[in-house]
A = this chain, B = another copy of it.
Amino acid sequence: MAALTDSFVARLCEWVRIPSIGVDPRHHADVHESAGWLRDRLREDGWPEVEVWDHGPALPAVFACWPAEDPRAPTVLVYGHHDVQPVDPVERWDHPPFEPVISGDELLGRGASDDKGQVAMHLLGLKAHLAATGRSAPAVTLKLFVEGEEESGSPHLRKLLEDHEDQLSCDLVVFTDTALHERDAPTVNTGQRGVLGAEVTFYGGTDDVHSGRAGGAIPNPATALAKLVAALHDDDHRVRLEGFYDDVREPTAQEREDYASLPFDEERWLANNGGGARATQGEPGYTTLERIWVRPTAEVNGISGGYTGPGFKTIIPASATAKISFRLVPDQHPDKVAVQLREFVREHTPPGIRSEVGLRGEGVPPYAIRPDDPANEAVVEAMSLAFDEPVRFARAGGSGPAALLQALAGVPLVYLGATLPDDRVHAPNERVVVPLLLKGAEAAAHLWRILAQADIAKRLTR
């Protein structure tokens, strides 16, 4: 196993050296190189079927399949991504982001945690699975799908999944792009919030107007927009779109109990996630973890209008714009929230103002698996074995393509992740804790074995 570990770290370092920043066209060649690198490693490892899907405009994705010997064994599709976030502000990195450094049990570099580390973890997991069971093929049919556009919002994922529907068919999706709650509190993630981004613009006239000549006598689009934004939440920080909470699924008692039992240091959380915010704030009756995991939100991501440069310009702005995003939880749907938002904007557009609502694509639906789903119970068992202690439930506040994958595959989706929330993903000095990845690999090795057991296999494949 020590040899496996050494080659695992060496490999991951090699991969991190490839600056596969998908959102930056100057790095698209690197995204191709990254896909090629992964393809070669999979072939090296003996995966019988390995392909790079490289049909523009999508950045290349890697697909691999290793059939089980038993044709009745379930098929599991593992999802991850090999594109990475940009590195700005690069001057705040202690080491160059694409020159990985080992420090204690950490590996530092862009993508080490998100998501190359976790994809590499699966390659190691399969080796460990084969070694432990003495098999020449996995106990389940394993499919690996590693996309190259996750950090860009997976704009071509739906098409890619549709184009390769047959190849991707499976009985279960394992989504590998979420974290443990804490190093000493291993958890199984059971869901992610969805997101709908919208841009609301209020127009007065065609030009800015001198505030001396007309101030006090015509509507001010910035003031009107501020009133709309102010009306978006009630005094309890609840979102005031009509019907917004109708479809919100409450977490189970077990989930709430688990969340409450997790270690949570508010000050440290604020320092890590609040950008130095001085206080938490949110819906009464819910803890901070519940507010970010199982409650929907509306947040202003940006607001602008009129003169915003240095000094002053006494104008009434011609227009003002707010970028607002809604985080959604099961069973909300972006389409329905979009309708609610349009209605809210209509109601809050005063006379003399024209409003426009632009949406960011179709939005990302939320997803959660029931904790007692047999597939999820298999993950809990595998994780408990690997971490040698009972694992608890957690959620993720962010969004990803889980719901899309689940809906298109038409099968359950579970989460397997072994990184940490303070891995500084999307930020300078990203790192991953190597021993956690090793445990994650062990969990995967257990999971394939557990899923092949007759009773769960039957339930998955029926």
Contact = CB atoms under 8 A, between A and B. Distances in A.
Interface in A289-343: 291-292, 295-297, 299-308, 311-318, 320-323, 325, 327
A270 B296 CA distance: 42
B230 A277 contact: no
Contacts of A314: 195, 197, 299, 301, 325
A287 to B, nearest CB: 9
A225 B279 CA distance: 17
A212 B291 CA distance: 11
A315 B327 CA distance: 12
Given A212-B398, A307-B302, A218 B276 contact: no
B299 A323 contact: no
B312 A323 contact: yes
Contact of A217 (B222, B291, B315): B291
A315 B292 contact: no
Contacts of A313: 301-302, 323
Nearest to A325: B314
B278 A354 contact: yes
A275 B217 contact: no
A74 interface: no
A323 B306 contact: yes
B292 A215 contact: yes
Given A218-B274, A302-B305, A303-B306, A223 B233 contact: yes
A216 B282 contact: yes
B325 A277 contact: no
Interface string A210-222: 1111111111101
B360 A275 contact: no
A384 interface: no
Given A217-B292, A275-B318, A354-B278, A211 B325 contact: yes
Interface stretch (A14-22, A47-55, A200-208, A244-252): A200-208
A282 B396 CA distance: 47
A154 interface: no
A223 B321 contact: no
A231 interface: yes
B299 A321 contact: no
Given A308-B323, A325-B211, A360-B312, A223 B229 contact: yes
Contact of A216 (B217, B222, B295): B295
B214 A397 contact: yes
A182 interface: no
Contacts of A300: 220, 222-223, 226, 305-306, 316-317
Contacts of A360: 311-312
Nearest to A193: B212
Most chain B C-beta atoms within 10 Å of own C-beta, residue among A212, A230, A237, A288: A212
A368 interface: no
A213 B313 CA distance: 37
A296 to B, nearest CB: 8
A19 to B, nearest CB: 21
A421 interface: yes
B215 A275 contact: no
A161 to B, nearest CB: 22
Given A275-B207, A282-B217, A308 B321 contact: yes
Most chain B C-beta atoms within 10 Å of own C-beta, residue among A223, A278, A279: A223
Contacts of A228: 226
A294 to B, nearest CB: 10
Interface of A: 193, 195, 197, 199, 204-220, 222-223, 225-233, 237, 270, 273-283, 288, 291-292, 295-297, 299-308, 311-318, 320-323, 325, 327, 350-354, 360, 396-399, 421, 426
9 contacts: A195-B212, A210-B426, A214-B397, A218-B273, A301-B314, A301-B315, A302-B306, A303-B308, A308-B323
